[in-house]
Structure 1
Amino acid sequence: MLIYRSMYLSQIKSQSITDFKKHLAENSAEFRGWLEQQGIVSFSLFNQGAFLFIYLEASKKAFSFSWETPYSERLEQWPGQAVLRNSIPLLDVFHDGVPEELNEWRGDRTVEQRSGSMVYLKPEQYCSYVFYHYQLQEENPESFNKTYTIGAYENMLFSYSELPESFSLSKPEGKLKTNHTPENWQEVMLPHFQLDQDEDVIWKTLETLFVL
């Protein structure tokens, strides 16, 4: 079975944050069953303030995630298409690996930790950030963890990864034959981020609300 992964963003109504979390905790079994009925084989939900960050793997290529009642009643609605949406797909900025067959992608490996993090880019540095990450992705695919991926909404980034690090049996071939990725990666990346002067952690760790 081929699997396809994607990332989404939702926003809880300000007056419903506590209620949303409580309802999810009390109805986790039903929510798990609903996800499985949608063809979702892996689902991780993270929270920061009113934002909900979603990473999922589904068995359908044209999959589009949307919250059902009663969760949808507690969420803000996004315009921009013919119908309002309670979750929007994040743009793919970077992926270290590309899942194919479910058994090959997940196999019998043990996932000890699922991590979600977020950060804001300086708007004027957005193109530079995407450029460097596409270059890294295609010059040296699966260079550190095939599960690591980054999605973007405006200048907000969401990253997802699983630990311990894992790699495919056969390393995928990238689209670039160049070798321009800078060795001083962290030094080059630092000016891209929108940080307060007293911040010593760039990526903020998100609260995990649910995993499948």
Structure 2
Amino acid sequence: MDGILLLLPILVPILGGLAVLGIHNMKTRRLTVTLLLVFQIFVVLEVARNDTEPFVLLQLTDGARLVLQADSLGRLFANLICLIWFAVAVFAFEYMNHEGHRERFFGFYLMTLGALMGICFAGNLVTLYLFYEMMTLLSVPLVLHIGTRKAFEAAYRYLGFSVAGAGLGLLGLFVLQGYCTTDLFTPGGVLDLARAGENRTLLLGVFVVMAVGFGCK
């Protein structure tokens, strides 16, 4: 049951966003987006009631798996993001009136929310990384939405920084795999302190590289 609850905050906005891409009537689209965001808030509130056990979504390899888990920090950010997304959508209904392709904007707006929920409920670094990349790709259409030359230039810069940051983050992820006692996020940390002490300089460098990588994004 916990696994299904953890999937809902991700799937509801992603599937809803795909549906909104095909809704061209303004009133129907506004109603659909509003109902989806309200439902999303209630779903996240339900998930946010308690910590959950790790739910393995997909086993990629022996050392890499997609895991969802709700902890106090993830629940806090999930609630904040859902409230912000709802408030911004209400503002955007009027603000986007002068723009074309509004169904595309709100479709990707919702799908980006789903990727952010994956980040909030990521149970390990691999899951966090993959949902971070999903969020980047889904938000590119929002950057270039108006279709002007400046918008495309901004999107290219956005992708450039994001791809560079992704590379640095992935490099750090590969290095850390050999120094962790578990792949799950754990209170107090997951580093093998004995091995980490022997390679302190290397791990400090990895931390800086990953901080810069995720900071770029």
- Give the TM-score of the pair, scaled to structure 2: 0.28
Q: Please identify which structure carries the higher helix content.
A: 2
Greater Cα radius of gyration, structure 1 or 2: 2
Q: Please identify which structure carries the higher strand content.
A: 1
